[in-house]
Amino acid sequence: MKAHAEVIVEKRGGAGVIRLNRPQAINSLTLPMVRALLRALQRFEEDPDISCVVLTGEGERGLCAGGDVRIIHDLGKAGDPQVLEFWREEFPLNYRIAHFSKPYVALMDGIVMGGGVGISAHGSHRIVTERTKLAMPETGIGYFPDVGGSWLLPKAPGECGTWLGLTGNVIGAADALYAGFADYLVPSHRLDDLVQDLSQATDRDNIEATIGAYVAQAGESILQANQNTIDATFGFDTIEEIVAALSARQDAFSRETLDVLQKRSPTSLKLTLRLLRLGRESMSLIECLEREFAAGTEILRQHDFYEGVRAALIDKDRNPRWRPARLEEVREVDLEPYLAGHSGNLFPDHRL
């Protein structure tokens, strides 16, 4: 174990503990971190003394703020062919987590966004706290929910996943549980004790009983309270129809949602909706990851991602100038290059 490493891997009794250790960047993922996570999972899966894996993040701010999109931005701008390597290895990591043979316990404390959702919400035992702030905020930077987001989001009740994917809004523990991104709420001050007890658990039943002893009530879900409104306004297959439905309503939730959508990249909104609808009909996580990889490849050839990252992370003026700037200027045919990539790029040994 290296204390300065960006991923710290250690055995604690029967638990394999993986600690993301880049707190100054809210543990944002880099390619070396993705590779370290893959190596750790391989090691723990093969170790007969390990009963479960626990993922946690160092620092007070959160588990993981996502992939380090500033690095991707810079590589893409420079035309560096290595720019796709991050997704090429991150997406198989998401799949590995979803199909890990031992209990995978993700401690989703604090900020859990984008790629942070990918390394937690695909796990078997997903724990949120009263401090959890979860989001798939990609439409705000000219991108789309990836890391299997088009597989996870359509599985939320009704159109909640569509609302989450298009708005990119932050949700708390109760909504994460309701939307199916988490399984349990444990108070943040009890997480260390939980990990200690998990290190003594010997099988899946023990692990679930151990977690159950720490579970607390989550309170009211905003998504659940607004389910009827969300279903009535987000059940369409075009962004124009969704906007029209929201515009026709006078309630505060609809007005606030409409205001958010009007700030997002028009191209990202239309692409995200297409991916979510395709994901709803997909038979496997691999199918969604392959489609997302193809879409991400095309994103790097276009304007909005670079402009979105500039506005959010570089100049921080929060005033992106999208191209096209209006929904009606984004035609359905314009989306085809994002969806035309060859399948099998990431998982050549699997048939889609």
Query: CA angle, 286 as apex, 134 and 157 as ends, to 5°?
Result: 45
> Is 138 among the catalytic positions?
yes
The tens digit of pLDDT for each residue in 137-158 reads 999 999 999 999 999 999 999 9
The active-site residue out of 57, 66, 114, 115 is 115
The tens digit of pLDDT for each residue in 265-320 reads 999 999 999 999 999 999 999 999 999 999 999 999 999 999 999 999 999 999 99
The tens digit of pLDDT for each residue in 241-254 reads 999 999 999 999 99
pLDDT of residue 352: 45
Q: What does the pLDDT average to over 99-117? A: 98
> Is 67 among the catalytic positions?
yes
> Is 146 among the catalytic positions?
yes
The active-site residue out of 90, 138, 175, 183 is 138
Q: Which amino acid is at 80?
A: D
Strands 125-128 and 15-20: unpaired
Cα separation, 268 vs 166, whole angstroms: 8
Which of the four pLDDT bands, split at 50, 70 and 90, describes residue 323?
very high
pLDDT of residue 205: 83
Q: What does the pLDDT average to over 101-122? A: 98
Total-model pTM: 0.95
The tens digit of pLDDT for each residue in 162-171 reads 999 999 999 9
Cα separation, 221 vs 179, whole angstroms: 9
Cα separation, 207 vs 19, whole angstroms: 19
Task: Answer yes or no: is pLDDT of 3 > 80.
Answer: no
Cα separation, 145 vs 166, whole angstroms: 9
**Residues 302, 307, 312, 318, CA torsion sign:** negative
The active-site residue out of 14, 66, 67, 142 is 67
Element containing residue 64 per DSSP (H, E): strand 62-64
Cα separation, 60 vs 264, whole angstroms: 29
336, burial (CB in 10 Å: exposed 0-12, middle 13-18, buried 19+): exposed
Cα separation, 130 vs 173, whole angstroms: 6
Distance of CA 23 to the CA centre of its chain: 18
The mean predicted confidence, pLDDT, of the chain is 95
Helix then strand then coil, % of the chain, to nearest 5: 50, 10, 35
Which of the four pLDDT bands, split at 50, 70 and 90, describes residue 82?
confident
φ and ψ at residue 281, rounded to 5 degrees: -95, -5
Cα separation, 4 vs 294, whole angstroms: 35
The active-site residue out of 146, 159, 290, 292 is 146
Listed in sequence order, the residues at least 6 apart from 212 whose beta carbon sits closer than 8 Å to its beta carbon are: 184
Q: What does the pLDDT average to over 180-205? A: 95
